[in-house]
A = this chain, B = another copy of it.
Amino acid sequence: MSAGHEPVAGERLLATYDLVCEHEQDAFARAREIAFEQTVELPEACVPPALVRAVVGHVDDMVRLGKRRWRATLSYPAEIVGGEVPQLLNLLFGNVSLFTGVRLVDLVWPPSLLAAFGGPRFGIAGVRKLLPQADGRALLMVPIKPIGLTARELGALAHRFARGGVDLIKDDNSLADQATAPFAERVARVAELVRLAHEETGSQTVYIPHISGPLERLPEKVAILKREGVRAALVSAFTQGLDALRYLAQSSGLALFTHPALSGAFFGRTHGLAPEVVYGDLLRVLGADGVVYANAGGRFPIEEAQCEATNERLRRPLGSIRPAFPVAGGGVRVETLPRWAARYGPDTVFLIGGSLYLQEDVEAATRALVQALAWQGGRTVE
User: Is A79 in contact with B179, judged by CB distance below 8 angstroms?
Assistant: yes
User: Is B239 in contact with A86, judged by CB distance below 8 angstroms?
Assistant: yes
Among the stretches A66-74, A146-154, A313-321, A341-349, the one at the interface with B is A146-154
Chain B residue numbers with a CB within 8 Å of A79 are 178-179
Contact with B along A284-308 (1 / 0, CB 8 A): 0000000000100001111000000
Given contacts A93-B262, A176-B82, A302-B98, contact A149 B247 (CB under 8 A): no
User: Is B47 in contact with A146, judged by CB distance below 8 angstroms?
Assistant: yes
Given contacts A51-B148, A241-B241, A264-B98, contact A354 B300 (CB under 8 A): no
User: Is A262 in contact with B55, judged by CB distance below 8 angstroms?
Assistant: no
A266 to B242 alpha-carbon distance, docked (Å)? 15
Q: Which residue of B lies closest to A251 (CB)?
A: B216
A172 to B47 alpha-carbon distance, docked (Å)? 14
A85 to B85 alpha-carbon distance, docked (Å)? 19
Which of A79, A85, A146, A300 has the most C-beta atoms of chain B within 10 angstroms of its own C-beta? A146
Chain B residue numbers with a CB within 8 Å of A99 are 264, 300-301
Say yes or no for A42: interface residue by CB 8 A criterion.
yes
Chain B residue numbers with a CB within 8 Å of A300 are 98-99
**Distance (whole angstroms) from the CB of A127 to the closest CB of chain B:** 24
Chain B residue numbers with a CB within 8 Å of A212 are 84, 86-87
Q: Which residue of B lies closest to A102 (CB)?
A: B264
Contact with B along A252-263 (1 / 0, CB 8 A): 000000001111
Chain B residue numbers with a CB within 8 Å of A247 are 214-216
User: Is B51 in contact with A94, judged by CB distance below 8 angstroms?
Assistant: no
User: Is A148 in contact with B55, judged by CB distance below 8 angstroms?
Assistant: yes
A238 to B243 alpha-carbon distance, docked (Å)? 11
Chain B residue numbers with a CB within 8 Å of A145 are 40-42
Q: Which residue of B lies closest to A213 (CB)?
A: B84
Contact with B along A126-151 (1 / 0, CB 8 A): 00000000000000000101111100
A302 to B40 alpha-carbon distance, docked (Å)? 21
Chain B residue numbers with a CB within 8 Å of A213 are 82, 84, 86-87
Given contacts A97-B263, A214-B247, contact A146 B42 (CB under 8 A): yes
Chain B residue numbers with a CB within 8 Å of A84 are 176-177, 212-214
A55 to B236 alpha-carbon distance, docked (Å)? 20
Say yes or no for A28: interface residue by CB 8 A criterion.
no
Say yes or no for A4: interface residue by CB 8 A criterion.
no
Say yes or no for A3: interface residue by CB 8 A criterion.
no
Chain B residue numbers with a CB within 8 Å of A273 are 265
In A302-361, which residues have CB < 8 Å from any B CB?
Answer: 302, 330, 353-354, 357-358
Say yes or no for A201: interface residue by CB 8 A criterion.
no
User: Is A94 in contact with B261, judged by CB distance below 8 angstroms?
Assistant: yes
**Distance (whole angstroms) from the CB of A172 to the closest CB of chain B:** 6
Which of A179, A215, A265 has the most C-beta atoms of chain B within 10 angstroms of its own C-beta? A265
A264 to B46 alpha-carbon distance, docked (Å)? 26
Q: Which residue of B lies closest to A86 (CB)?
A: B239
A85 to B216 alpha-carbon distance, docked (Å)? 12
User: Is A236 in contact with B86, judged by CB distance below 8 angstroms?
Assistant: yes
User: Is A174 in contact with B39, judged by CB distance below 8 angstroms?
Assistant: yes
A353 to B41 alpha-carbon distance, docked (Å)? 9
User: Is B264 in contact with A97, judged by CB distance below 8 angstroms?
Assistant: yes
User: Is A80 in contact with B178, judged by CB distance below 8 angstroms?
Assistant: yes
7 CB contacts below 8 A, A to B, read: A86-B236, A86-B240, A90-B173, A90-B239, A94-B262, A215-B215, A268-B268
9 closest pairs, A vs B, by CB? Answer: A241-B241, A97-B264, A94-B261, A40-B146, A98-B264, A86-B239, A55-B148, A87-B176, A89-B239
